């Protein structure tokens, strides 16, 4: 189950005594959301997976777009840890409603089972928006970034050297909201080494949400990750399928 809570931060106004009531038209400037998910089973297999996260977003996109997000995932099966990861990202877009928009971003990541003690990205680039409608948007972004990777190493193995690289970052992103309450979201990152296209990372997420009311939706998401040069004994590909319930308050 996935639980999402949206919290707006509106301005407030007080009507003077004996004066006609007025409507406060001050627009919301910020939006906050909290997500919580839990999967569990018992019996022949004992499984517990907990996911949680939050997002804070600036709403006045005619000036700039600012968003900060973080997510944590933890899982156990038969008293053995099977998942433990953390991600956080900060993004800033200038003139996001224009056809061309410069932006800057930074991300942090830890994943015990991919042996990533710390991975950080920071970069700048430009976004080109091809479709912008009330219920749909499609854009393509390109950036240059600084990539740092520090890996954990089992005690019986030689240490894996840290990696520092310059990379390109290509991002394709889009969403579509249909009148029947169905929403489709997709984003894919392709990050090759600047002078070696065979050394790359891919992060992709596709999410389908069906709104059953104004506040409740059922969603299904698929995440695909590929590191073409992972540490020893780590698989190149990771895939996560998650179904849940979204509730906005």
Let me know if residue 203 belongs to a domain: yes
Let me know if residue 106 belongs to a domain: yes
Let me know if residue 61 belongs to a domain: yes
Q: Which helix (H) or strand (E) holds 21?
A: none
The number of folded domains in the chain is: 1
Let me know if residue 99 belongs to a domain: yes
DSSP state, 12?
Answer: -
What's the pLDDT score for residue 24? 53
Residue 48: strand pairing partners: 40, 76
CA pair distance 167, 46, nearest whole angstrom = 41
CA pair distance 69, 57, nearest whole angstrom = 9
Q: What are the per-10-residue average pLDDT scores of the chain (249 residues)?
A: 39 42 60 76 80 82 88 89 93 90 96 93 96 94 96 75 93 94 95 94 94 80 93 90 72
Write out the residue range of the structural domain in which residue 57 sits.
40-213+223-235
Let me know if residue 66 belongs to a domain: yes
- The pTM (predicted TM-score) of the whole model is 0.81
- By DSSP bridging, strand 116-133 and strand 136-151 are antiparallel
Exposure class string for 130-150: b at 16+ Cβ within 10 A, else e: eeeeeeeebbebebebebebb
Let me know if residue 26 belongs to a domain: no
What's the pLDDT score for residue 16? 40
What's the pLDDT score for residue 214? 76
What's the pLDDT score for residue 213? 81
- By DSSP bridging, strand 47-58 and strand 80-94 are unpaired
Which of 151, 60, 144 minimizes the C-alpha distance to 110?
151
Residue written as tokens 């219920």? 135
């Amino acid at each position: 189950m996935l639980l999402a809570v949206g919290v707006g931060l509106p301005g407030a106004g007080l009507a003077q005594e004996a004066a006609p009531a007025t409507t406060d038209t001050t627009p919301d400037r910020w939006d906050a959301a909290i997500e919580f998910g839990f999967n569990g089973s018992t019996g022949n297999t004992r499984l517990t997976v907990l996911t949680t996260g939050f997002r804070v977003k600036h709403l006045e996109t005619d000036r700039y777009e600012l968003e900060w997000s973080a997510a944590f995932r933890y899982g156990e099966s038969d008293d053995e840890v099977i998942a433990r990861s953390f991600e956080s990202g900060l993004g800033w877009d200038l003139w996001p409603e224009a056809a061309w928009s410069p932006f800057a971003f930074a991300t942090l990541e830890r994943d015990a089972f991919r042996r990533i003690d710390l991975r950080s990205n920071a970069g700048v680039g430009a976004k080109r928006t091809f479709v912008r409608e009330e219920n749909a948007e499609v854009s393509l972004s390109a950036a240059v970034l600084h990539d740092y990777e520090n890996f954990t190493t089992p005690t019986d193995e030689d240490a894996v050297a840290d990696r520092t690289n310059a990379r390109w970052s290509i991002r394709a992103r889009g969403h579509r909201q249909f009148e029947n309450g169905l929403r489709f979201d997709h984003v894919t990152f392709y990050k090759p080494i600047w002078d070696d296209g065979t050394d790359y990372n891919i992060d992709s997420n596709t999410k389908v949400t069906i709104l059953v009311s104004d506040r409740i939706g059922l969603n299904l998401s698929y995440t695909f990750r590929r590191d073409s040069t992972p540490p020893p004994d780590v698989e190149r590909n990771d895939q996560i399928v998650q179904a849940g319930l979204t509730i906005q308050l």
